[in-house]
A and B are shown apart, each in its own frame.
Chain A
């Protein structure tokens, strides 16, 4: 059964750091690009970052660049989000999601499997 489980969220003061993890199971993790998406309380979805299947390519939202860094360890089937210099506006539920990838000969950049999310609260 395909499964993504996020962890590492919590309450943190502005300016501090946090590392989120996303453990994957039920599929060959090393074959898929992976994303982080966040949702502030009562707000819509915001894409954060993506990393290619082998970690060689990364893209991130402007709001994330320089502070939120995506990485992965395929030997551990785990995706990470390193969060530095946290701001109050980073408060959100953070979801990891799998990119669909190759399907019937075409590549799709949509997200077909999501974790349940982990909550990050930045407050003084």
Chain B
């Protein structure tokens, strides 16, 4: 199975900060990567698909980049509602796999 390694596993940031989360795949997955946001007690929410395409209704402060094995999710200006856990997911090959998650906390 393809392994996804997210870093950091957690970070503390302030409102207005620029935040970047990295996801590295154990083998080439082209651009078949998605990012999800999950808040405590809630279901995950799709943010980005195909590595860089913003899902409908997702604010433009979220952006994704990358292809092959290295990907990033960037929040250009952190808002109070962005404090959550973020997961990457590869959809290139079954079994589908998720990264371990990055918890974004308030500094």
Contact = CB atoms under 8 A, between A and B. Distances in A.
Given A44-B87, A114-B45, A117-B43, A109 B1 contact: no
What is the predominant secondary structure among interface residues of chain B facing chain A? loop
Interface residues of A, number: 23
B98 A46 contact: yes
B44 interface: yes
Interface residues of B, number: 24
Interface in B1-47: 1, 32, 34, 36, 38, 42-46
Nearest to B87: A45
B3 to A, nearest CB: 13
A100 B100 CA distance: 23
A47 B96 contact: yes
B49 interface: yes
B91 interface: yes
Given A95-B44, A116-B43, A110 B95 contact: no
Given A44-B101, A47-B95, A112 B55 contact: yes
Interface of A: 35, 37, 44-47, 50, 59-62, 95, 100, 106, 108-112, 114-117
30 contacts: A37-B44, A44-B98, A44-B100, A45-B36, A45-B98, A46-B98, A47-B89, A47-B95, A47-B98, A50-B96, A59-B94, A59-B95, A61-B95, A62-B1, A62-B95, A95-B44, A100-B46, A106-B50, A108-B50, A109-B91, A110-B34, A110-B46, A111-B36, A111-B46, A112-B46, A114-B43, A115-B43, A116-B42, A116-B43, A117-B43
Interface of B: 1, 32, 34, 36, 38, 42-46, 49-50, 55, 87, 89, 91, 94-101
